Amino acid sequence: MTFMFKAKVNITLRNSILDPKGKAAHHALQNLGLISVKDVRIGKYIELNIDASSKEEAYKLAETACTKLLANEVMEDFQITIE
């Protein structure tokens, strides 16, 4: 028997990698007077609907999707939440 799981994946650049989009957004926010915003990092959010027999299997499938295609592990980190 299989169930439908939703994997929510957040992918962000590693802290050691420069984030030009985040830098540009930070500068724009500063120009808008939002000086309390001290840093901006921009990433990707992806949802996967996964047909699997368990939550653990769904996690492993989502992790495989990230390592093989969705995230560049040299430059990016990812977090997966299964619902």
Domain carrying residue 44: 3-82
For position 13, what pLDDT does the model report?
96
Element containing residue 68 per DSSP (H, E): none
| CATH (domain of 23) | 3.30.1280.10
81 bridge partner residues: 8
pTM for the predicted model, two decimal places: 0.86
Q: Please tell me the total count of domains within the chain.
A: 1
Report the alpha-carbon distance of residue 57 to residue 65 in Å, rounded: 12
* pLDDT tens digits for range 20-67: 999 999 999 999 999 999 999 999 999 999 999 999 999 999 999 999
